[in-house]
Amino acid sequence: MSVTVSTTSKNAPLLIHEGLPYIIDCRTDKKILWKCEHAKKYKCHGRLHTDLNNVFIKTVGDHENHAGDSRAGPIREYYD
């Protein structure tokens, strides 16, 4: 499994994994912890860990509030 790293419009690192964008949450000595770019907007719990060379380690949590498509958020309640 691989990830792609680019930059946001604000020049911050942006990581793409399975079509979902992540921004840096925090760095540790061994890892970079990324959080879903929609973490705030959709209260998303999707997180991702890479090592310091942006090599994928694992994902944590789900993108339950937007399911990879930002348009899915507001209409999701009709399906629950």
Indicate left, alpha or beta for 61 from its phi (over 0: left) and psi (-120 to 50: alpha).
left
**Which residue, 5 or 67, is less far from Zn ion as judged by CB?**
67
Which of 36, 47, 48, 50 is in the footprint of Zn ion by CB under 5 A?
Answer: 36
46 near Zn ion, judged by CB under 5 A = yes
Q: How far is the CB of 66 from Zn ion (least distance, A)?
A: 6
Could you tell me if 25 and 33 are in contact, meaning their C-beta atoms sit under 8 angstroms apart? Answer: yes
Q: Is 67 helix (H, G, I), strand (E, B) or coil?
A: coil
Q: Binding residues for Zn ion, per CB under 5 A?
A: 36, 38, 44, 46, 63
